[in-house]
Structure 1
Amino acid sequence: MSYKETLLMPKTEFPMRGNLPNREPEMQKQWEEDGLYEKVQERTEGRPLFILHDGPPYANGDLHMGHALNKILKDFIVRYKSMSGYHAPYVPGWDTHGLPIEVALTKKKKINRKELSIAEFREMCKEYALQQIDNQRVQFKQLGVRGDWDNPYITLDPAFEAQQIKVFGDMAKRGFIYKGKKPVYWSPSSESALAEAEIEYQDKRSPSIYVSFDVTDGKDVLDGDEKFIIWTTTPWTIPANLAIALHPELEYVSVEANGHKYIIAHDLLDEVAEKLEWESPTVVKTFKGQDLEYVVSKHPFYDRESLIILGDHVTTESGTGCVHTAPGHGEDDFWVGEQYGLDVLCPVDGKGVFTEEAPGFEGMFYDKANKNITEKLEEVGALLKLEFMTHSYPHDWRTKKPTIFRATSQWFASVKDFRDDLLKAIKEVDWHPDWGETRMHNMVRDREDWCISRQRVWGVPIPVFYAENGEEIITDETIEHVSNLFREHGSNIWFEREANELLPEGFTHPGSPNGQFTKETDIMDVWFDSGSTHQGVLVEREDLDRPADLYLEGSDQYRGWFNSSLTTSVAITGKSPYKGILSHGFTLDGEGRKMSKSLGNVMVPSKIMKQLGADILRLWVASTDYSADVRVSNEILKQVSEVYRKIRNTMRFLLGNLHDFEPNTHALAEGDLEEVDRYMLIRLQETIAKVRKAYDEYDFSVIYHTINNFCTVDLSAFYLDFAKDILYIEEADSKRRRSIQTVYHEIVVSLTQLLSPILTHTADEIWKYIPGVEAESVQLTDLPEARTIANEETTKVKWQRLMTIREDVLKALEEARHDKVIGKSLEAKVTIVPKDENTLELLESVENLHQYLIVSDVELISSYETAKAYDTVSVAVEKHDGEKCQRCWVSSHSIGANEEHPELCSRCASVVAEKV
C-alpha cells in the first residue's frame, strides 16, 4: 500500500500566493455591497465613542505617498478602536476652496474668467472640486481605508458653510474679529494675502546694502553732523522708510571714519568696520539707545523725516543695530511704528508694482526696482556698500514665487486677545510625540493676529455688510440670516444677489439713512474653512461629537490645521477641539531625499497597489517609525513583501493542519493540553498583550516586529516544525494531535484578529478558511485579550530553559551536518550531557524529547567523551544506526517488527493498522 496516503497532510484552499492586486478590488467591492462599514457601526453602537477626526486633504490631483501614509495610519487606529470596545465612526473629508482650483481651471482647463461672472466661475470651481473628490475617493478606498465614503464632509457643502459663518460670527461677537491695515504676507504672483501656513522657504539671491541717513536734529544729544547706518536685503522697501529703530538698552557709538561720523551699535563696530573697509575708526561718543529716542534723520532721497525710535526687536545678530523701519512692509516695523504714531505707508500695489506714493519708481515691479533704488542711493551719496547674498526667503507655496510683506486693509482674528486661553488649552492636550506640545506652544506664544481675508473668489465669503457711511455691520441677526441662506442655497448666493437682498427683510441701520448697503467681496482664508471643521462636522453631524479624541496629520500641520482648529475652537468654546494630537513625518525616497519628478524618485500609491497590493503598502506603513520622516523604495517594499510572505505562509500552514478540526467537537480543555502546547498559549498571550499595548500607544512598528517574530521564531522555527511529526503521523483523533490543533486554532484566530487593522484584506481572506468562526468578517469581531494560562509561571520558566538547551543542540546538529556526519536531522542520534543535576532532571521530565529536537533518538548521560560543550549542555551527534521508517522518516530499531508492515516503525505500524 502507499503509506503516503495514510498521512494526515495539510489541506486548505487558502492560496499560497496573495495575488493581492487582483483579489483586493474584489474584496473591496464585496465589502461595499455587504455594507460592512454600516454593519461595524451597528455592532458597536452603544459603546464609548472614539472619534478620529479626518483632516481634510485638498481636492486636487491624484494621491501621493504622504496621503497613503496618513490615511492608512488613521485606518489602523479606527479599525483597532472598533475591535477593542469602542464605537468609532470615521467620516472622511475634503478641503475644496482656494487658489489651486482657480489656477487649475484658468491654466489647465484654459477657462477665461473674464467671460464669466463670479458666480459662474465659482460654479465651475465647485464642479471641478467634486470631480477631484470622486477621483481621490476611489484611490483612498483602494488603500483599504474603511469609512463613511458615501457621506463625507466637504467644505463646499452648504451645511458646512453655514456652520463656518456661525464660527466667524461667534468670534466677531466676542470681539476677536476686526478690519485693519497691517502688513501681511502678500503674494504678487497670486495677488492675494497668504497665511503663515501657505509660506515655504527657499533660497533667494538678494542685494545686501548699507545705507546712511543724515541727522537733521540731534536733540542736544548729537552734534547734528552724524549719519545713522542701516543694513537691508530689501532695497525696494527704502521708499517706504519712515524711521530707524534702536534697542533702548544697547550701547551705540558715534564713530569717526573716512571723514564722517557714523552711528552704529558698539557690539557690531568691528564687523561693520571690516565690511565698509574703514581704516582706524575712532569712537567719538557712546550712548544708550534710549538716549537717542526722537532724534531726527532725513530720508536718503525723499524730502521727509526718518525718526529715531526704540524697539525690543532690535538685535546685534547682524547688520548695524540700527534697523530700517517701514511700517507698511514689516510686522515688527508696523507694531513699533504704531507706538510712535507713524503712518502705514505701502507704495506697492497687489501686483507688486510701485504706485505714485514712491516718486521716481512708479510702475516698476518691486524686485526689478532694487537696481534703480540702489543706483539712486549711490547717486545721493547714501550707499556705503553693495554686495549680494543668498538667503532663505519666504515663497508662495502654490506659485513658488517670492512673497513680500505688504500693508493692506484686511480682516484679522486677534489671536493675542485670547492667547492665554490657547496656551492653557495646549497643556490639556495629549501630544504624540511629546515635542508637539512645545512646538505648538511656541507658535501660539509668538502669534499676534491671523489674517483671515483673501482677495480671491473661490471660497466662503466674509459675511460683513457696510453701511452708507462705511460702518461695518456684523450682528447676531445678520450672521444668523446669512448662515441660513448659505445652508439653503450655498455660499454662491453671496455673489448672485445684491447686499440688500442678502440682509434680513426690513433690516435698518443708522449708518444707511437711504437703506442702501454694500457687502464685503473678500473670502475667508482656506485655513479658516478647515479650522472650522470641529463646528461644521463634529457638531453638525449627529454621529460625531466635539472634542474629537484624536487629530492625526503630518508635522506641517502644527502651523496649519492643528493651529487653525485650535484657534477657532478656543475662540468660541474656550476649549481645544481635540483631546489628542498625533503627527507623522514626510515620505522620502530610500536615500532620504524628497521625492520630485526632476530626480525621478517619485513613488505613487496607485502603482504600488497595482504591482504589490494595498496590504503591502499597509504593512510598510506599519513597519515605519512614522514620528520622523519615513523612507520608501522598491528595495524597502521588497523586504516588507518578504515579511508578508512569511506571515501568509505561517497562517496557511496553521489552516492546513486544521482541515479535520471542528472547535466545538475536537478542542481540548486548557487543563488537558500537553505542556508544550500550554507554553505556546503563554507565548501567544504575551504576543497579544504586547500588540494590544502597541495599538493603544499607536506604535505600529512594534506590532509589525512582534507578530513577525512570533511567526518566524516561535512558530516556524519551533512549534510548527516539530509538530509535523505529530500532526501528520499520529491518529487523527489522538490527544496529542488534538492538543496541538486546539492551540493552532486559537493562534490562527487571534493572529487574524490582531492583524486585521493592518492587513485588512488578508485577514478577511484568512477568516473565511478558519473552521468554527461565526462572524462573516473578522472586522465584526473584537480583538483577543491576553489571559492567564494554568501553571503559567512554572511552565514558562521550564520551557524557556528548554528552548535555550534546544538552541545548543541545534548548533551541534548544524556542525555535524557541516562535517558530513549526518544529512537531515532525523538521521541523528543525540547524546546530551547536562551541566548539572537540575538540567538533567529538566530534560528527563520531557516526554518525547527527540520530537522537539527533530532527531530520531536522544540519550541523556552524565559523561560522553566526544561531546562538544555549550552554555547549557554538552552534545554529541552521531548517525542513528537504525533503519529509516518509510512513513515518518524517523530512524528506528523497530523497523520490521510488524510482519504486515515491515518497512514501518512500531508507532507507524500501529497507526496504519488502525486505519486498515
Structure 2
Amino acid sequence: MCAETTDQSATTDYKETLFLPDTDFPMRAGLPTREPEWLARWEKIGIYDRLREKTGRTPFTLHDGPPYANGHLHIGHALNKVLKDMVVRSQQMLGHDARYIPGWDCHGLPIEWKIEEAYRAKGMDKDAVDLVDFRQECRRFAEGWVDIQREEFKRLGITGAWDRPYLTMDYHAEAVIASEFMQFLMNGTLYQGSKPVMWSPVEKTALAEAEVEYHDKESFTVWVKFPVVDVSMPDANMSGEEETPDAREAIARAQAEVVDRLMGARVVIWTTTPWTIPSNKAVVWGADIAYGLYEILETPEQCWAEVGERFILADKLADATFARARLTEGQWRRVAGVTQPQLEAIRLAHPLAGAEGAAGEWDDPRDFRAADFVTDEEGTGFVHCAPSHGMEEYELYRDLGMLTHVITYNVMDDGRFRDDLPFFGGTAILRDAPNKKNKDNPWEGDANTAVINKLVDVGGLLARGKIKHSYPHSWRSKAPVIYRNTPQWFAEIDRKLEDGMGQYGDTIRQRALTSIDELVAWTPKTGRNRLHSMIAARPDWVLSRQRAWGVPLTCFVKRGAKPTDVDFLLRDTAVNDRVIAAFEEGGADVWYKPGFKETTLGGLHDPEAYGQVFDILDVWFDSGSTHAFVLRDREDGSDDGLADLYLEGTDQHRGWFHSSMLQACGTKGRAPYRGVLTHGFTLDEKGMKMSKSIGNTVAPQEVIDQYGADILRLWVAQSDYTADLRIGKEILKGVADSYRRLRNTLRFLLGNLKDWDEGERVAPAEMPELEQWVLHRLAELDTQVRDGYAAYDFQGVFQKLFQFCTVDLSALYFDIRKDTLYCDAPSSLRRRAARTVLDLLFHRLTTWLAPVLVFTMEDVWLSRFPGDASSVHLQDIPATPTDWRNPALAGKWFGIRAVRRVVTAALEVARRDKVIGASLEAAPIVHLADPNLRDALQTVDFADLCITSTVVLTTETAPDGAFTLPDVPGVAVVFAKAEGEKCGRCWKISADVGQYPAHPGTCPRCAEALG
C-alpha cells in the first residue's frame, strides 16, 4: 500500500514524487445530463454511415420487427431495442458489416382505434367521414408517433439508419405489400370462404390469433336438454340368415323395450356459451365413451328436473351433472346402459322446437352422430354443435359435406342477434362498452340471459352456473371476442403450389415446417418447438379485415360467380402491374378513389363485370412482407433478401415470426430469416405483470432521467432475456452499484495510463509472471467474449467481464500493482510492464463493453483519445494473440492465489482486532505442507502479492492456533509484525530504510526512483 491511501503525515515531503493516477474521467457518471451530448456527437460525425464505409466485410442484417406507431415507449420496447442494438454493435465489432434499418408498423387496428377514440370523444361518427380523409388522419397520426418514438429509441443509444427508416405506409411499401398479396392471388392459395373466425363485436372485424390475448373471464354455463323424438332401431334380422319366429319376436321385443326406454329421454349438453344455443344444428357424442340412461326418482325445490324424467349422460360425468342440478344420491338411478347402436338410432329435437312464437325456427331435427373431439373429461359427454361458432364443429361438417345444412347467420357484425330471430332478435352477446358495475363480467350483454330464461321457460334447462376461465380478448379494445361465421378471405396453406419454388416443400405449411427444422437457428432452442407446433396445427390464414386503415386486398371478383367458380377471381398480371404502379405513385389510398376500378380494368376487362374488394389485409401480412421492401429492395438491405436475425418477444411466435414465415413461404419458398432470437416479458420486482391500474409500471424515460440509459442497458445485459425479466427500484439500485464498480475499474485504467508512450511497451515474454497471467486471462476472455457475442449470450459475456474487472483486476491485479505504478521509477521494467498491460486492458475492455455501455465506453475512449472524429464505436474488437495463453502458468497462479487468499484473510483478522492498521505493517509466516507450492511462491515476490512488507515461507508444521481456511488445505498463516523502519515514500517497512543520505527515510527502491 502506498502513500495515496494511508496517513500521509510521514511522507509529506515525498508526496509530489509519487506517480499518482491522473484523469479527467469523473468518478460520478452524470449520465442523464451527459448522454445527450454523445448522441449529438454521433449524429454530427455520422457514426452509422461511417461504419458502412468499411469495405470487404461480411454483411450481418438484423431485420427490425416493426413496433406500432401509436404511443410512448414502454419498458418492453426498451428491452427489445436494446437487445437488438447489442446484437448489431457486437456483430459490427466482431468484423461484420452489421446493418440495422429501424421500422414501424403504421397500418391496422391499433392506429385506427386511436382515431376512432378521438372521434367518439368529439361525438363524431367514423362512418360519416370520407374514407380517404379518414385514412389520411390515420397516416398523420402514425407520422407524429414515428417522430416521437424515433427520438425515444435514439435516447436509449440505439444505432441505425434513423434518417431513413422503413414505414409500412410508405408508398413503395404499400405497393410491395399489394404485390406480395397478388402472388397469393396468382398462385391459387387465395380463396373466399365462410367459416368461424375470431371476431371482435366491439371493433367489428375479424382478428388473427396474434391480435388476441387471453384473460380470465366469468361466463355463464348451462346444462341443456335435447329431447329424443325418434328412435329408429335397425331391422331385427340384420344377419340375413333364417331365424325362428320366436327368435325374431324376442329381438323385436327387446328393441321395442329400448325404444320405449329412450323415447322422450333427454340428451344433456353442457356449454359455456349459452348464446350459441339458438344456432345449434347438432349434438355429437364419443364412440369410446360409456353412456347410461338415468331416471329421476324425486326432486328438491328449485330443481329443473321432473320426477320420471330420463336423461342420457356419460357414466363418468353423471354424478357431477346431477349435483349441478341440485340432485343428491338416491334421487336418481341408472336405468340401463346406452350402446353405440342405440345412440345411432336416436333422433333429437332442438329444446326450442315447437315453442310458441318460434315461427318454426328450430323445428328441423338436430343431427346426432359420433365425433372424435368429444371427451368425458368435463361436461356431460355430449357436445352441442353450432358450426357457425366453433372450428371443430365446422371442420366436422365440412368434411361430411354438410356445411350448407348447418351454417347459420344469426349473429351480426356488432355481436347482436339478427333482428328477426325469434325471442332473441337484437339482443347483444357483448356490450359495446364495459359496464363498470359488473366487475366480474363488464362486457356481458343481454343475449346469454335471454337464451337462458327462454330455456327455463320451455323446460329445456337442467342446470346453470358460472365459471371463470381463460378466454380470448382483443389486445386492443381488451373486450372479449367470439367465434363467428363470416365470409372472409383466406390463404390456403396446404394447397400444392406450382410456382417453381418447391425446394423445401410444395405447400406453404411444408415449406414453413422444413424451414423451421433445417434453415433457421433458434435462440433459445425452445423457440423452434413453439413455432413448429403452431404451424403444424394452424388452419388457413385469415387475410381479410373489415376495417379502413391498411393495404386493401387488391383483387377483383366476377359478378354473379360463386367463390368456388374457377373464374371467380380475376387473375391478370397486366391488371396487377397497373395496381402496383398506381400504388407506387399515390399509395394505397388510390384504391378507394372513385374510378380506380374503371381505370385499372379499362382496355383489359369490362369493369362492370367485376366487383372491387374493399376489405383490408391483416396487418400481420403487412409486417410479414417487410422482408420484401426492406431486405430485398433497399441497397442497405440484404444481398440475398434474407435476414441473419429476427429478434422479438416470445409472443411473436404467433405474431411476426409466424406471419413472416407464412408470407415468405408463399412468395419466396422459404423462411425470410436464418436466425430467430426471442426474449421474455418484463415484470415488476415481485414477478407480477406490469399494469398502469396497479401502478407497478416502469417507464424507460423515468429510468433514464434518474440513472441514464446505460443503466437500463446494463439491466438488459445482466438479465437472462430468454425468461421473463424483472425490473424495479431495488433491482435498478443493484444495477447502478454494479455500474459504479465497473466504472471505478475503468477510471483506474485511465488514471494510470496518463502520458502513456509507446516507448514504454514491454514484450509479453519480458513481463513478470503476474502480467503474463493477466495476458493469459485476456486471451481466455477474448475467446469467451467473441463466442458469447456470436451466440447472443450478453448475460454470459457481461458476467465474465464483470467478474474479471472486479475480482481479477480491481481486487487483485490493481491492488497489487498500485505500489509499482505509484512508486517505481518510470524506467523500471515492472512499471513499464504494468502500464503495457493496462494499455492492452484498455483497448479490450472498452471494445468488449461498448455494445452494452455505449455512452460510458465512449466517455472512457474519448478521455484517452479525444478528437472530433474519434469514437470507440468505430473500432473492432482487437485481435488477441493466442500465444498469450499459458495454461501451465495459470495452473501455477491458481495455487499462488489460493495461498494469497489465506494470507489476506489472516491479515483482515489482525486489522479487525486493531493489531495493525495497514497490511504493510505485517510480515506473516506462511506454513506450506506442499514443498512444490513453496518453491512456486519463491519464484515470485509473494510479499508484493500480499501487500506486506515481507513474508516468510516455510514447510515446517504450523503451530496450534495458526490461521487457516477450510477450502485451502495445507496452508496456515502465523501473524507477525514487520521489523525495521517505514519508508517515508512507499510506507513499506524494512531494515534498509535510511541508508541513502540524499533521500533520508526512504528504502532503496524509492531512493533509486528519486535519483
Secondary structure in 2 matching 1:308: strand
Secondary structure in 2 matching 1:22: helix
Is residue 2:363 matched to residue 1:303?
yes
Task: Tell me which of 408, 413, 425 is aligned to 2:491.
Answer: 413
Using the TM superposition, give the Cα deviation of residue 460 of structure 1 relative to its aligned residue in structure 2, in angstroms. 0.7
Secondary structure in 1 matching 2:904: helix
> 1:463–1:474: 8 Å Cα contact kept in structure 2?
no
The match for 1:275 is 324
The match for 1:377 is 455
Distance 1:836 1:251, change over 3 A: closer
Task: Tell me which of 993, 996, 1005 is aligned to 1:898.
Answer: 996
What is the distance in 1 between the residues matched to 2:867 and 2:596?
65
Secondary structure in 2 matching 1:146: coil
Distance 1:790 1:303, change over 3 A: closer
Is residue 2:839 matched to residue 1:828?
no
> 1:467–1:473: 8 Å Cα contact kept in structure 2?
yes
Q: How does 1:534-613 map to 2 (within 5 A)?
A: 534-545=627-638, 546-613=641-708
Task: Tell me which of 281, 287, 299 is aligned to 1:248.
Answer: 287
> 2:779–2:884: 8 Å Cα contact kept in structure 1?
no
The match for 2:583 is 486
What is the distance in 2 between the residues matched to 1:401 and 1:171?
32
Using the TM superposition, give the Cα deviation of residue 476 of structure 1 relative to its aligned residue in structure 2, in angstroms. 2.5
| Letter in structure 1 aligned against 2:627 | H
Task: Tell me which of 333, 336, 339 is aligned to 1:287.
Answer: 339
The more displaced of 682-691 and 470-479 is 470-479
> 1:723–1:740: 8 Å Cα contact kept in structure 2?
yes
> 2:779–2:885: 8 Å Cα contact kept in structure 1?
no
> 1:245–1:324: 8 Å Cα contact kept in structure 2?
yes
Task: Tell me which of 232, 248, 251 is aligned to 1:219.
Answer: 232
What is the distance in 2 between the residues matched to 1:206 and 1:57?
33
Is residue 2:135 matched to residue 1:57?
no
Is residue 2:764 matched to residue 1:670?
yes
What is the distance in 2 between the residues matched to 1:116 and 1:581?
42
Using the TM superposition, give the Cα deviation of residue 102 of structure 1 relative to its aligned residue in structure 2, in angstroms. 2.0
What is the distance in 2 between the residues matched to 1:386 and 1:833?
83
Distance 1:225 1:771, change over 3 A: closer
The match for 1:195 is 208
Is residue 2:542 matched to residue 1:451?
yes
> 2:283–2:369: 8 Å Cα contact kept in structure 1?
yes
1:11-67 CA distance string (max 9 Å, x none)? 112222211111111101110111100011111x33222111111011111000000
Distance 1:771 1:210, change over 3 A: closer
Distance 1:259 1:791, change over 3 A: closer
Using the TM superposition, give the Cα deviation of residue 299 of structure 1 relative to its aligned residue in structure 2, in angstroms. 4.6
Using the TM superposition, give the Cα deviation of residue 293 of structure 1 relative to its aligned residue in structure 2, in angstroms. 7.1
Secondary structure in 2 matching 1:551: strand
Distance 1:548 1:293, change over 3 A: farther
1:468-515 CA distance string (max 9 Å, x none)? 335432433322221221111100111123343352441215xx6xx4
Task: Tell me which of 810, 813, 830 is aligned to 1:736.
Answer: 830
Secondary structure in 2 matching 1:183: strand
Aligned length: 906
Using the TM superposition, give the Cα deviation of residue 654 of structure 1 relative to its aligned residue in structure 2, in angstroms. 1.0
Is residue 2:744 matched to residue 1:649?
yes
The match for 2:796 is 702
> 2:931–2:955: 8 Å Cα contact kept in structure 1?
no
1:287-309 CA distance string (max 9 Å, x none)? 22795178343453332221113
Secondary structure in 2 matching 1:678: helix
Distance 1:46 1:497, change over 3 A: farther
What is the distance in 2 between the residues matched to 1:614 and 1:670?
38
> 2:349–2:363: 8 Å Cα contact kept in structure 1?
no
| Percent identity of paired positions between Structure 1 and Structure 2 | 42
Q: How does 1:150-165 map to 2 (within 5 A)?
A: 150-165=163-178
> 2:90–2:851: 8 Å Cα contact kept in structure 1?
yes
> 1:671–1:790: 8 Å Cα contact kept in structure 2?
no
Distance 1:247 1:625, change over 3 A: same
What is the distance in 2 between the residues matched to 1:486 and 1:631?
45
What is the distance in 2 between the residues matched to 1:749 and 1:660?
16
What is the distance in 1 between the residues matched to 2:887 and 2:470?
62
What is the distance in 2 between the residues matched to 1:172 and 1:305?
40
Distance 1:117 1:775, change over 3 A: closer
Using the TM superposition, give the Cα deviation of residue 804 of structure 1 relative to its aligned residue in structure 2, in angstroms. 0.9
| Letter in structure 1 aligned against 2:321 | V
Distance 1:677 1:614, change over 3 A: same
The match for 1:108 is 118
> 1:51–1:548: 8 Å Cα contact kept in structure 2?
yes
Secondary structure in 2 matching 1:493: helix
Unaligned runs of 5+ in 1: none
Task: Tell me which of 781, 788, 793 is aligned to 1:687.
Answer: 781
The match for 1:767 is 861
Q: How does 1:82-161 map to 2 (within 5 A)?
A: 82-108=92-118, 110=121, 112=124, 113-114=126-127, 116-161=129-174
Using the TM superposition, give the Cα deviation of residue 658 of structure 1 relative to its aligned residue in structure 2, in angstroms. 1.1
The match for 1:886 is 984
The match for 2:22 is 11
> 1:499–1:517: 8 Å Cα contact kept in structure 2?
no
1:794-819 CA distance string (max 9 Å, x none)? 32222221111111111111122223
What is the distance in 1 between the residues matched to 2:859 and 2:289?
73
Using the TM superposition, give the Cα deviation of residue 375 of structure 1 relative to its aligned residue in structure 2, in angstroms. 1.7
Task: Tell me which of 507, 510, 517 is aligned to 2:604.
Answer: 507
What is the distance in 2 between the residues matched to 1:651 and 1:859?
34
In the superposition, the TM-score normalised over structure 2's length comes to 0.87
CA-based RMSD: 2.1
Secondary structure in 1 matching 2:349: strand
In the superposition, the TM-score normalised over structure 1's length comes to 0.95
| Letter in structure 1 aligned against 2:579 | V
Distance 1:694 1:203, change over 3 A: same
Q: How does 1:839-858 map to 2 (within 5 A)?
A: 839-846=933-940, 848-858=941-951
| Letter in structure 1 aligned against 2:552 | P
Is residue 2:799 matched to residue 1:799?
no
Secondary structure in 1 matching 2:97: coil
Q: How does 1:304-319 map to 2 (within 5 A)?
A: 304-319=364-379
Distance 1:856 1:18, change over 3 A: same
The match for 2:393 is 333
> 1:825–1:855: 8 Å Cα contact kept in structure 2?
yes
What is the distance in 2 between the residues matched to 1:881 and 1:247?
95
Distance 1:293 1:330, change over 3 A: farther
| Letter in structure 2 aligned against 1:521 | F
| Letter in structure 2 aligned against 1:460 | V
> 2:984–2:1001: 8 Å Cα contact kept in structure 1?
yes
| Letter in structure 1 aligned against 2:383 | V
> 1:250–1:289: 8 Å Cα contact kept in structure 2?
no
1:681-715 CA distance string (max 9 Å, x none)? 11122222222222122111112211111111111
Distance 1:133 1:200, change over 3 A: same
| Letter in structure 2 aligned against 1:687 | L
Secondary structure in 1 matching 2:550: coil
The match for 1:350 is 413
The match for 2:380 is 320
What is the distance in 2 between the residues matched to 1:102 and 1:78?
33
Distance 1:784 1:303, change over 3 A: same
> 2:68–2:110: 8 Å Cα contact kept in structure 1?
no
The match for 2:274 is 235
> 1:230–1:324: 8 Å Cα contact kept in structure 2?
yes
